[in-house]
Amino acid sequence: MNIVVGSAFRDTPRWRAERYFDRVAALREHARAGHSVRVVAAEGDSADNTRGLLAEEAARCRLAVAFPECTTGSPRFGSTEEPARMRALSVVGNAIFGAVLPEDDVLVYVENDIQWDPFTIGSLIDAALERRDGIDIWAPMVMAGEAFYDVWAFRGLDGARFAPFRPYHSSFGERLAAGQPLEVSSVGSCLVMRAEVARQVRIADGGALVDWCEQARLAGFRIAAWPAFLVQHV
């Protein structure tokens, strides 16, 4: 099995790059013998030596890394829903999806400031490959301490955004306490999917991952958030 871990980078400090590649290396060790893990680093518009730093860290961890072109010329944005930022993120996201190769089996699309463990991602990889419960795209719950973090991208089938605090979305009900998956219309920050999905779907209208999830659903793919698995925004 060939696993791709794809992330966006811009003006990344060394400590974050080190932790990122350590996590990917841990996933490689967690994977069964004979499985490969490589990184797609969508780096563009950095004012520092981010690309060189990422190459150094990949070499340190003995990981292959690809750098798809994703320069947008956009200014640095804070955490905002400004359309210009969404358009820039869409270019970067499509660069990651476009770098998935025919021989790849699974894509882990994860923001570089998310802290995750190999068991969580490995479990989501298994679910994606099995297409468990008919779901093609799996996401853990993305937390910031005790609060839910990704309130922009995670949305229920009714289109309503997740809230920062439990139960996060009205559809969860008893599923939340039981840690059972909830089918949703959109997720973000961390997605795990069969590579076939990544090869078929692109962001179409500049709406970043919300747009991508809409296109995936239009193509017949299904998405779920799984509260039994947590990652942390750091």
Q: What is the mean pLDDT of each run of 10 residues along the chain (234 residues)?
A: 96 95 97 89 89 97 96 68 84 97 98 97 97 98 97 97 97 94 97 98 96 98 98 95
Distance CA 215, CA 21 (A): 30
State the DSSP H helix or E strand holding residue 229, giving kind and residue range, or none if neither.
strand 223-233
Q: Percent of the chain beyond pLDDT 90?
A: 85
Place of tokens 């990344």: 12
Burial 198-230 (b: 16+ CB within 10 A, else e): beebebeeebbbbbbbbbbbeeebbbbbbbebb
The confidence score (pLDDT) of residue 79 equals: 66
pLDDT in tens, 98-117: 999 999 999 999 999 999 99
The label of the residue with tokens 């490689």 reads 28
Cβ–Cβ contacts within 10 Å for residue 19, how many?
A: 16
pLDDT for the residue 123: 97
pTM: 0.95
CB 11, CB 30: distance < 8 Å: no
The type of residue at 23 is R
Residue pair 122/28 in contact by the 8 Å Cβ criterion = no
In contact, 41 and 144? CB cutoff 8 Å: no
Distance, CA of 9 to CA of 11 (rounded, Å): 7
Residue 73: its pLDDT value, please? Answer: 64
143, 229 in Cβ contact below 8 A?
no
